[in-house]
Chains A and B, each alone.
Chain A
Amino acid sequence: DAKTTQPPSMDCAEGRAANLPCNHSTISGNEYVYWYRQIHSQGPQYIIHGLKNNETNEMASLIITEDRKSSTLILPHATLRDTAVYYCIVRVVGTYKYIFGTGTRLKVLA
């Protein structure tokens, strides 16, 4: 599985867009990019995933560069409840294994 690199922490003002970057320069052609978040010490929660096209769901948008070496998770209107650790993971769909790095600790400020 490819490794990912994320900034250790970020701040975002409430109501503004939070843009969380992830570098995955060694990603393989059949590996998807997944994003999870962990609020306090709860179990990680799935947010979104994508292969090469940009994706949007009710929680967030995922922008993947054309060369697939990096991606950005966008929370369009961050709220205080979005304060969490966000993990970017690459994996082959259908495999069991997730490799978690240390993620980005996002703090949304009032």
Chain B
Amino acid sequence: DQQVKQNSPSLSVQEGRISILNCDYTNSMFDYFLWYKKYPAEGPTFLISISSIKDKNEDGRFTVFLNKSAKHLSLHIVPSQPGDSAVYFCAASAIMNRDDKIIFGKGTRLHILP
């Protein structure tokens, strides 16, 4: 049973436009969420995170929004650039539960079109 779901296996966005990657979770104990980016033949790279006490966190072109009632988070990239083409993993953990495990979603492959 997947606790972290990324229902779109892939997404294509025109360069310069906004990319929106979505993630849903089922475990209400999750209180910390992270996004990782992965290029082929490389390990995942941390992008941005958000604690459950916030509903938005912004870092440059990247913004993560958290909707706790809907158990949904999204990553916005604006403007999208060619180098953003990669697989994006959503991840969640339950730090208040003293559970040090991070659960990853299956990932969404983002293609930025010229």
Q: Do A and B come from one complex?
A: no
Interface residues of A (CB under 8 A from B): none
